Amino acid sequence: MNRQAQRSGATGVHHNRQYSEHYLDASSKWFNDSSSNHIPPLQDYNLYGGGGGRMYRSNAQRSFNEYCFDPATPPRSYAIKKNANGYGDEDYSPRDFSPGLLDLHSFDTELLPQITSSNLYDSEPYIFGKQTVRARASENNVSNSLAAADNAKSSNVAKIKVVVRKRPLNKKEVAKQEEDIIDTVSDSLTVHETKLKVDLTQYVEKHEFVFDAVLNEEVTNDEVYCETVEPIVPIIFQRTKATCFAYGQTGSGKTYTMKPLPLKASRDILRLMHHTYRNQGFQLFVSFFEIYGGKLFDLLNGRKKLCMREDGKQQVCIVGLQEYRVSDVETIKELIEQGNATRSTGTTGANEESSRSHAILQLAIKRSVEGNVSKPPRVVGKLSFIDLAGSERGADTTDNDKQTRIEGAEINKSLLALKECIRALDNDQGHIPFRGSKLTEVLRDSFVGNSRTVMISCISPSSGSCEHTLNTLRYADR
Ligand SMILES: Nc1ncnc2c1ncn2[C@@H]1O[C@H](COP(=O)(O)OP(=O)(O)OP(=O)(O)O)[C@@H](O)[C@H]1O
């Protein structure tokens, strides 16, 4: 009891310390400094209900949609047409889609060549007429310095960041009188593992870990976003590919953590596109697929089976994957909801099955080559969100059911391969072992070149999950 009380005290201290600093940072970045603020303030940041939203609401002044109007976007009624099963299908007009990741004649999986800040803003093909050029000159100067600031910021964003998120005890755990065995203080945490001696007396073994950030059970989804994805959003305009994934046992909070992130990121991306990078020809595309039993399924196209190929330049392409060009938050929200619904209803026993698949949502920023709109746009940067299969599923290899064993082995393979790739990236190894699994092959282009990786390790605080929690923390430990 005493220990428990002390521990919650420590957690509180950590929370205050960490986030009082963060709020200062966030406020100066987002709304206090309105003169240099390149992203307009948010109106409602709490769509999924998980976040506190307290950082943003009081300062909202303008409707976000003011910045998001793009006549090239198909009407929303076009974007989401569902059949009787609730899946999107052939009702879509082909004109609503990009060519898909595998258009062998497109440059889709290739990055645009380096664009310096100055020519990024001087690029005339997007400007219609000389008067407009002059009128926009001063605007562009401002944008120039803002982009330069983004460039400077990008060099400060760590190549790999590992964050641990502890969820609160749930009702079931409380009913079973399970204890919270995790202490968090600042960026470190301690697991108190109860063990038995040979004479059956109990003792507690402490396991200490330090990470780039430790988020305790009081931390909201908004705060998770600020700590993880928000810093990398501006740099995907600077030819960077970034990956954010959640790792942890089933029920540890991976989906709860990951679900709001793409929408929050899309809002910021659109805000940058319509403000800092206005008239620069950037386009945003969304795709959403899952890897289940080593096979790929399109979550925005009725779980259509997809296949992966490598082109002559060893660029990975996903044949037939639908990508939607989007320019407003509402459409993105609907696409994400559609994908999530497809993920869980596409197989029997929603939760059970969702923990056996890896869901990958990608936000790609593209731009036409040298302003030539007749050519397919090229990828400038990409942000991938991955809700991984439950980590303990990889251990299902002893299950009697053959299918479960095969799935378990596949998950095991992909999680190990992912860890190997991250380790290789972390050590700046020239060779990244992508071929270890479908998951890492699909992510190949997100790991090469200028990349950023954020791993969110989700843990349950309960004594009953101690072994899984230790496994998760050891996986995340660098
Ligand atoms: N930080 C949190 N605060 C409050 N509730 C949480 C938190 N994290 C998770 N939960 C709740 O715990 C339950 C399990 O979470 P979630 O479905 O995200 O787990 P998961 O790791 O994605 O599981 P699976 O691998 O089976 O998909 C959900 O009901 C979720 O709402």
Q: DSSP letter string over 364-384?
A: EEEE-GGG-TTSPPEEEEEEE
Task: Give me the residues paired with residue 383 across strands.
Answer: 242, 363
Beta bridge partners of 194: 204
Please give the distance, rounded to the nearest whole angstrom, from the Cα atom of residue 258 to the centre of ligand 1: 10
Instruction: Rank 63-77, 358-372, 447-461 by mean pLDDT and report only the highest.
Output: 447-461
Confidence check: pLDDT of 230 > 50:
yes
In degrees and rounded to multiples of 5, residue 56 shows phi and psi of -115, -35
> pLDDT above 90 covers what percent of the chain?
41
pLDDT at 312: 76
- Name the pairing type of β-strands 378-387 and 241-247: parallel
Query: Of ligand 1's atoms, which has the minimum distance to the CA of residue 458?
Result: 21
Gap from CA of 256 to ligand 1 centroid (Å) = 5
Give mean pLDDT, residues 393-416. Answer: 73
Nearest-atom index, ligand 1, CA of 248: 21
pLDDT at 261: 96
- State the distance from the centre of ligand 1 to the C-alpha of 130, rounded, in angstroms: 55
Q: What is the pLDDT of residue 144?
A: 56
pLDDT above 70: residue 278: yes
Q: What is the mean pLDDT of residues 228-257?
A: 93
Across 86-90, 404-408, 472-476, the highest mean pLDDT is recorded for 472-476
Could you give the CA distance from residue 283 to residue 323 in angstroms, rounded to a whole number? Answer: 12
Higher pLDDT, 228 or 346: 228
Could you give the CA distance from residue 417 to residue 139 in angstroms, rounded to a whole number? 47
Say what percent of the chain tops pLDDT 70: 62
> Looking at residues 299-328, what average pLDDT do you find?
89
Per-residue pLDDT at 305:
94
- In sequence order, what are the residues at sequence separation of 6 or more whose Cβ sits closer than 8 angstroms to the Cβ of residue 1? none
pLDDT per residue as tens digits for the range 189-210: 999 999 999 999 999 999 999 9
SS3 for 50-111, per residue? Answer: CCCCCCCHHHCCCCHHHHCCCCCCCCHHHHCCECCCCCECCCCCHHHECCCCCCCCCCCCCE
Nearest atom in ligand 1 to 250's CA: 25
Q: Using 50, 70 and 90 to split pLDDT, how confident is the model at 143?
A: low
What's the CA gap between 264 and 271, in Å, rounded? Answer: 11
Return binding residues: 248-255
Provide the CB-side half-sphere exposure for 447 (13 A, CA): 27
Q: Is the pLDDT of residue 425 over 70?
A: yes
Summarised one tens digit per residue, pLDDT across range 160-183 is 999 999 999 999 999 999 999 999
Q: What ipTM does this complex have? A: 0.98
Tell me the C-alpha distance between 177 and 175, whole Å: 5
Treating both helix axes as pointing N-terminal to C-terminal, what angle do 260-274 and 329-345 enclose, rounded to 10 degrees? Answer: 160
Pick from 410, 374, 376: nearest CA to 390: 410
Burial group, residue 63, by CB count within 10 angstroms (0-12, 13-18, 19+)? exposed
Q: What is the mean pLDDT of residues 259-265?
A: 95
Pocket test for ligand 1, best of 15, 48, 166, 167 (most atoms within 8 A of CB): 167
Q: Average pLDDT for residues 218-243, to the nearest whole number?
A: 95
- 307 pLDDT above the threshold of 70: yes
Domains and CATH numbers, the chain: 2-476 (3.40.850.10)
| Amino acid 433: pLDDT | 86
Residue 273 · residue 284 · CB < 8 Å? yes
Side chain identity, residue 76: R
Give 120-139 pLDDT, tens digit per residue.
322 222 222 333 334 444 44
pLDDT at 250: 87
Pairing of strands 451-459, 160-166: parallel
Q: State the pLDDT confidence band at 288, using cuts at 50, 70 and 90.
A: very high
pLDDT surpasses 80 at 434: yes
How far is ligand 1, taken at its centre, from the CA of residue 460, in Å? Answer: 9
Q: Using the structure block, give the residue that is written with the tokens 């209900």.
A: 49
The rounded Å distance from CA 149 to ligand 1 centre is: 37
Collapsing DSSP states into helix, strand and coil, what is residue 127? coil
Give me the mean pLDDT over the 390-412 stretch: 71
Token readout for 51 is 């976040």
Q: Is the pLDDT of residue 91 over 50?
A: no
Q: How many CB atoms neighbour CB 10 within 10 A? A: 16
Least confident of 31-45, 198-212, 398-412, 433-447: 31-45
| DSSP E strands, 312-447 | 316-319, 324-326, 357-367, 378-387
Report the pLDDT value the prediction gives residue 428, as an integer from 0 to 100. Answer: 81
Instruction: Determine the pLDDT at residue 147.
Output: 56
In sequence order, what DSSP letters do the residues of 234-274 get, joined into one string? Answer: GGGGTT-EEEEEEE-STTSSHHHHHTHHHHHHHHHHHHHHH
pLDDT at 154: 54
In this prediction, residue 399 carries a pLDDT of 58
**Those residues with Cβ within 8 angstroms of residue 310's Cβ, 6 or more apart along the chain or in another chain:** 316, 317
46-55: pLDDT as tens digits = 333 333 332 3
Ligand 1 atom having least distance to the Cα of 170? 12
Phi-psi region of 295 (alpha: psi -120 to 50; beta: other; left: phi over 0): beta
Cα 121 to chain centroid, rounded: 28
* CB-defined site of ligand 1, < 6 Å: 167-168, 170, 248, 250-256, 351, 354-355, 390, 458
pLDDT in tens, 263-274: 999 999 999 999
Mean pLDDT across 21-40: 33
